[in-house]
């Protein structure tokens, strides 16, 4: 089966180029200005940007155990609609993927239901309770994390790092010192006082980041920081990189786009880490631009509407992000000239793939044919009721955005088309 993509502006070798692509048996076979070879299917990408498939290294699919919020099927449909062809699934499920058998069961479910590539994380500790370590050598996963909670015990984390280093795999951390959280629900700033909501200090994150970086240096492990949200964390990570410590970090679209002043008494503005101060927001943007923060990841965290209708302090943390990430970032960073579109593409394709050495995020001969076709001029309004995700929990409902993924191709097959609604 051969497919030819013509008339598109292809992001290839760091530049947008007028090229044609020939896909064969799920792989990119040829890239050239003109491909005369015939194909079974021709996709006319006239007026569209042809990007490597987007990559998201931080997604909560909820299955098994949380199917009311999301499933592998609905979550990967949501990913396809957002232009993502590879996603990394967090382990805060029930049961937790903390044994060889549970990981194998998860892979079987992914094989059955996933529309895009899904790379599952393994847990660091059994049942994610921060005590007994998983059998690192037995788990066929690319990295380990207890995301959703921080590993409190420094000794446990240090031992985990040493074992992960032996397997040449990364430790990935949700950095949160619960002794500094004290039941807070949003950032501990002026807006929390105005709303009468208990706050979460920035130190709850940055102290944990600093601790773990020192442990990682001693253990010789690749250490990755999830959803960085504070200026202090950015500073610590920047200093660690300058010192040659093997640390990488991600930032979420909502932390780049919003701050505590945007929060209203609506749990769709409640996420963990919370929206921080304007100074923190600005530090995150600078950190992304100067390379301190390696990539952008959505932290897609669906919940039911009933859960999010609860009072702010009682509702669960988290918002969805797969279907809005590219349009939001393109509208508020590329259209405003803060980023070039090729920079944005790197932050959502090549760079997240490089963090963990995933075979994704690039267009080159021999690469898996995972592609996203984007109409940079198309405008749409976010309507949460149209999401493919089960989650409707977004603070961006009603936003008018420009730059929309219109076709998503995985292994050479169209898995989403806006016009044909193939999903």
Catalytic residue set: 299
User: How far is C-alpha 239 from the geometric centre of its chain's CA atoms?
Assistant: 24
65 is in an annotated binding site: no
312 is in an annotated binding site: no
- Cβ pair 109, 103 in contact under 8 A: no
317 is in an annotated binding site: yes
User: At residue 116, what are phi and psi to the nearest 5 degrees?
Assistant: -125, 175
Residue with tokens 């929060």: 263
62 is in an annotated binding site: yes
- Which residues fall within 8 angstroms of residue 65, CB to CB, at 6 or more apart? 93, 94, 95
Q: What is the DSSP pairing of strand 84-89 with strand 186-187?
A: unpaired
239 is in an annotated binding site: no
Q: Distance between CA 323 and CA 204 in Å, rounded?
A: 30
136 is in an annotated binding site: no
7 is in an annotated binding site: no
- Residue 130 backbone zone (phi > 0: left; psi -120 to 50: alpha; other: beta): left
Report the candidate in 55, 54, 43, 51 with the shortest Cα–Cα distance to residue 3.
43
303 is in an annotated binding site: yes
> Which residues on adjacent β-strands are paired with residue 259?
none
92 is in an annotated binding site: yes
| Burial group, residue 385, by CB count within 10 angstroms (0-12, 13-18, 19+) | exposed
Q: Which residues are annotated as a binding site?
A: 58, 60-62, 92, 147, 174, 227, 272, 299, 303, 317-318
Q: Which residues are annotated as a binding site for substrate?
A: 60-62, 92, 272, 303, 317-318
């Amino acid at each position: 089966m051969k497919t030819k993509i013509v008339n598109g502006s292809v992001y290839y070798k760091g530049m947008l180029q007028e090229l044609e692509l020939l896909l064969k048996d799920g792989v990119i076979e040829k890239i050239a200005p003109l491909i005369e070879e015939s194909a079974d299917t021709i996709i006319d990408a006239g007026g569209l940007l042809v990007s490597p498939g987007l990559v998201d290294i931080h997604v909560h699919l909820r299955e098994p155990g949380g199917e009311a919020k999301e499933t592998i099927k609905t979550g990967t449909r949501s990913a396809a609609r957002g232009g993502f062809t590879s996603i990394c699934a967090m382990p805060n499920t029930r049961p937790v993927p903390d044994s060889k058998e549970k990981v194998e069961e998860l892979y079987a479910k992914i094989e059955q239901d996933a529309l895009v590539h899904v790379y599952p994380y393994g847990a660091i500790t059994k049942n994610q309770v921060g005590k007994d370590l998983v059998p690192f050598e037995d788990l066929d996963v690319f990295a380990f994390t207890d995301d959703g909670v921080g590993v409190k015990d420094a000794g446990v984390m240090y031992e985990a790092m040493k074992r992960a280093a032996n397997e040449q795999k990364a430790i990935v951390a949700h950095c949160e010192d619960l002794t500094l959280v004290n039941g807070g629900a949003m950032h501990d700033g002026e807006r929390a006082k105005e709303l009468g909501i208990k706050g979460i200090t920035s130190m709850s994150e940055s102290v944990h980041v600093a601790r773990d970086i020192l442990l990682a240096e001693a253990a010789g492990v690749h250490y990755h920081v999830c959803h960085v949200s504070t200026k202090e964390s950015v500073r610590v990570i920047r200093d660690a990189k300058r010192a040659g410590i093997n640390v990488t970090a991600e930032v979420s679209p909502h932390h780049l786009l919003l701050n505590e002043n945007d929060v209203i008494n609506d749990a769709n503005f409640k996420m963990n880490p919370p929206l921080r101060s304007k100074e923190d927001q600005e530090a995150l943007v600078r950190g992304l631009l100067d390379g301190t923060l390696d990539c952008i990841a959505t932290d897609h965290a669906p919940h039911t509407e009933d859960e999010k209708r609860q009072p702010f302090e009682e509702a669960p943390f988290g918002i969805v992000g797969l279907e809005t990430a590219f349009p939001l970032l393109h509208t508020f960073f590329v259209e405003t000239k803060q980023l070039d579109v090729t920079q944005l593409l790197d932050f959502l394709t090549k760079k997240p793939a490089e963090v963990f050495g995933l075979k994704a995020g690039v267009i080159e001969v021999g690469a898996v044919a995972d592609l996203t076709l984007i109409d940079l001029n198309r405008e749409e309004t976010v309507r949460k009721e149209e999401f493919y995700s089960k989650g409707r929990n977004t603070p961006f409902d009603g936003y008018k955005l420009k730059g929309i993924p219109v076709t998503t191709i995985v292994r050479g097959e169209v898995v989403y088309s806006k016009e044909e609604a193939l999903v």
